[in-house]
């Protein structure tokens, strides 16, 4: 019997078996989980949201900071308890922690049945077969080519309005504090035709917003197609399809991209531009490859092209050698830019990174906490100021759902990605665009009234 025939007669590994996946970390991981579900459904597994009925539990993990990993270890020991009640249960760790801690996860008391790195998901059916036969299924090979380009993700979040599309994988930037280049491998871009097709299909299925995702979307390149060109193509699908993207590395955000954004109303007016620090000396230690002045010039360029564009950021408090003066420079950068929103973190040393080998983690936990607190308090003020400036303005809102607090209110987002809450009205439903005038705000939300 030839091999192909044998394969077609082989019962699907997953036939009737139920798969539960828990996802930690970034949007990239959320997208990867949707690819994993797609691959395993092909193999006959059925996805379940009920952990109690699962035959296979996978945890899609994050290694970006130590506290992310600690949470996952805690969760893993809870899951082992499930296995006491159901000895046939298979438990797998996939994603960044699988890549980073393969030895620990395959031997001794922390061992799990399946370990699969971010580029090994097509191999999961085989890995699960090995585990079911009583062995360990392990694959943590990183690839230079894998983009899962043609795999249609199974959309797990139910809003049906907004979806993420991974356009590239990996990262080549090697910021000195960051583990991502080691866990997700080198940067590679996905064929633009598969991206445009995926976006088109989403729109045909009622989606109204896509977010193109990569660690550094500005360095997207596939043949002749660079990121601005990809944005042009996705934005051309339909004016009623909003297009967003994340994340932009400040060293690479080009005028060409800003021009494309400014000339398409359906490309949203928001740019996530992680600064990490406001001090040029610190940025050098972080290997970010730009200075404070460069960053501020790029912010000025964004404002020149799109005066109404929101700018959001990531900031790290207490990286190696951070002086009081350098910390003050981060605060002054925040004020100068006036960020709409920020993700703010305490530095967490990651084994294997350049910093872990050459730059001491020498800021005390107390000082990191105090500096982070200052950053958070300032950001709260800036977010509130930004929201206050919106009072009286009109926005087009894409309706996403019913407000959690009040059933008679709906919420959606404006182009700047701010959440806007307004009174529900007959005929307005999820997925509609409505015009709303802002009448009030909290630090996190705009409150508005619909304009008929």
For binding to ligand SF4 (CB under 6 A), which residues are involved?
Answer: 171, 173-175, 178, 180-181, 215-216, 249
For residue 307, count CB atoms less than 10 angstroms from its CB and return exposed for 0-12, middle for 13-18, buried for 19 or more: exposed
Task: Give whichever of 47 and 174 is closer to ligand SF4, judged by the CB atom.
Answer: 174
Measured from the CB of residue 178, what is the shortest distance to ligand SF4 in angstroms? 3
Pick what 65 binds: ligand 5AD, ligand SF4, none; C-beta below 5 to 8 Å, kind-dependent: ligand 5AD
* Tokens encoding 128: 């699960």
d(CA 328, CA 277): 10
223 φ, ψ (degrees, to nearest 5): 60, -120
Pick what 249 binds: ligand 5AD, ligand SF4, none; C-beta below 5 to 8 Å, kind-dependent: ligand SF4
Measured from the CB of residue 433, what is the shortest distance to ligand 5AD in angstroms? 31
Pick what 215 binds: ligand SF4, ligand 5AD, none; C-beta below 5 to 8 Å, kind-dependent: ligand SF4
Task: Give whichever of 274 and 448 is closer to ligand 5AD, judged by the CB atom.
Answer: 274
Pick what 216 binds: ligand 5AD, ligand SF4, none; C-beta below 5 to 8 Å, kind-dependent: ligand SF4
Pick what 171 binds: ligand 5AD, ligand SF4, none; C-beta below 5 to 8 Å, kind-dependent: ligand SF4
Measured from the CB of residue 274, what is the shortest distance to ligand 5AD in angstroms? 4
Measured from the CB of residue 298, what is the shortest distance to ligand SF4 in angstroms? 15
Confirm if 147 and 168 have CB atoms less than 8 A apart: yes
Measured from the CB of residue 247, what is the shortest distance to ligand SF4 in angstroms? 7
Measured from the CB of residue 80, what is the shortest distance to ligand SF4 in angstroms? 31
d(CA 378, CA 366): 19
Largest CA distance in the chain: 74
Task: Give whichever of 117 and 250 is closer to ligand 5AD, judged by the CB atom.
Answer: 250
Helical H runs in 43-101? 66-85, 96-100
Pick what 174 binds: ligand SF4, ligand 5AD, none; C-beta below 5 to 8 Å, kind-dependent: ligand SF4
Pick what 347 binds: ligand 5AD, ligand SF4, none; C-beta below 5 to 8 Å, kind-dependent: ligand 5AD
Task: Give whichever of 182 and 207 is closer to ligand 5AD, judged by the CB atom.
Answer: 182
CA dihedral 325→328→330→334, nearest 10 degrees, is -160
Task: Give whichever of 178 and 271 is closer to ligand 5AD, judged by the CB atom.
Answer: 178
* Tokens encoding 215: 């660690």
Task: Give whichever of 124 and 175 is closer to ligand SF4, judged by the CB atom.
Answer: 175
Q: Kindly state the helix (H) or strand (E) to which residue 168 belongs, with its residue range.
A: strand 168-169
Taking CB atoms, the residue at the shortest distance from ligand 5AD is 314
Using CB under 6 A, list all residues that contact ligand 5AD: 64-65, 177-178, 274, 276, 314, 316, 345, 347-348, 350
User: For residue 146, which of 118, 116, 125 has the smallest C-alpha distance?
Assistant: 118
d(CA 377, CA 179): 28
- Reduced to 3 states (helix: H, G, I; strand: E, B; else coil), residue 192 is helix
One-character DSSP codes across 241-298 = SEEEEE---TTT--HHHHHHHHT-TTB-SEEE---B-S-HHHHHHTT-S--HHHHHHH
Measured from the CB of residue 450, what is the shortest distance to ligand SF4 in angstroms? 39
Size of the chain in residues: 452
Task: Give whichever of 363 and 420 is closer to ligand 5AD, judged by the CB atom.
Answer: 363
Measured from the CB of residue 291, what is the shortest distance to ligand 5AD in angstroms? 18
Q: What is the separation of C-alpha 52 from the centre of its chain, rounded to a whole number of angstroms?
A: 28
Pick what 181 binds: ligand 5AD, ligand SF4, none; C-beta below 5 to 8 Å, kind-dependent: ligand SF4
Pick what 173 binds: ligand SF4, ligand 5AD, none; C-beta below 5 to 8 Å, kind-dependent: ligand SF4
Counting Cα atoms < 13 Å in the Cβ hemisphere of 59 gives: 24
C-alpha Rg value of the chain to the nearest Å: 23
CA dihedral 314→316→317→320, nearest 10 degrees, is -160
Task: Give whichever of 43 and 374 is closer to ligand 5AD, judged by the CB atom.
Answer: 374
Task: Give whichever of 65 and 413 is closer to ligand 5AD, judged by the CB atom.
Answer: 65
d(CA 49, CA 71): 20
Counting Cα atoms < 13 Å in the Cβ hemisphere of 442 gives: 5
Measured from the CB of residue 215, what is the shortest distance to ligand 5AD in angstroms? 9
Task: Give whichever of 63 and 189 is closer to ligand 5AD, judged by the CB atom.
Answer: 63
Counting Cα atoms < 13 Å in the Cβ hemisphere of 424 gives: 15
Measured from the CB of residue 170, what is the shortest distance to ligand SF4 in angstroms? 9
């Amino acid at each position: 019997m030839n091999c192909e025939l044998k394969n077609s007669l082989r019962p699907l590994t997953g036939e009737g078996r139920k798969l539960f996946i828990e996802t930690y970390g970034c949007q990239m991981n959320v997208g990867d989980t949707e690819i994993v579900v797609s691959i395993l459904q092909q193999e006959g597994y059925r996805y379940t949201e009920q952990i109690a009925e699962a035959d296979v539990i996978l945890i899609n993990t994050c290694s970006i900071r130590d506290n992310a990993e600690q949470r996952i270890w805690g969760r893993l020991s809870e899951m082992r308890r499930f296995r006491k009640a159901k000895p046939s249960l298979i438990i797998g760790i996939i994603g960044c922690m699988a890549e980073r801690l393969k030895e620990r996860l395959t031997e001794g008391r922390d061992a799990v049945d399946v370990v699969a790195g971010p580029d090994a998901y097509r191999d999961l059916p085989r890995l699960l077969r090995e585990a079911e036969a009583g062995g360990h299924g392990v694959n943590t090979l990183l690839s230079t080519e894998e983009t899962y380009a043609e795999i249609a993700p199974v959309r797990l979040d139910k809003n049906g309005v907004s979806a993420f599309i991974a356009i590239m994988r990996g990262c080549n930037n090697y910021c000195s504090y960051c583990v991502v280049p080691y866990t997700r491998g080198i940067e590679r871009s996905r064929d633009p035709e598969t991206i445009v097709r995926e976006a088109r299909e989403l729109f045909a299925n009622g989606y109204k917003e896509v977010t193109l995702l990569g660690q550094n979307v500005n360095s997207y390149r596939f043949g002749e197609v660079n990121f601005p060109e990809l944005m042009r193509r996705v934005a051309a699908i339909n004016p009623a399809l909003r297009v967003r993207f994340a994340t932009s590395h400040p060293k690479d955000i080009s005028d060409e991209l800003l021009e494309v954004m400014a000339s398409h109303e359906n490309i949203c007016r928001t740019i996530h531009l992680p600064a990490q620090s406001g001090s040029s000396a610190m940025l050098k230690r972080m290997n970010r490859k730009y200075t404070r002045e460069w960053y501020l010039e790029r912010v000025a360029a964004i404002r020149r092209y799109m005066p109404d564009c929101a700018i959001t950021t990531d900031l790290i408090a207490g990286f190696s050698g951070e002086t009081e003066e350098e910390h003050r420079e981060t605060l002054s950068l925040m004020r100068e830019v006036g960020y709409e929103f920020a993700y703010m973190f305490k530095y967490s040393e990651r084994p294997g990174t350049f910093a872990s080998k050459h730059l001491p983690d020498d800021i005390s936990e107390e000082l990191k906490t105090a500096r982070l607190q200052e950053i958070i308090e300032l950001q709260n003020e800036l977010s509130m100021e930004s929201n206050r400036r919106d009072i009286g303005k009109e926005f087009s809102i894409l309706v996403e759902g019913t407000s959690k607090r009040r059933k008679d209110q709906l919420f959606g987002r404006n182009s700047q990605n701010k959440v806007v809450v307004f009174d529900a009205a007959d005929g307005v439903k999820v997925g509609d665009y409505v015009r709303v005038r802002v009448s009030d705000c909290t630090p996190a939300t705009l409150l508005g009234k619909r304009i008929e």
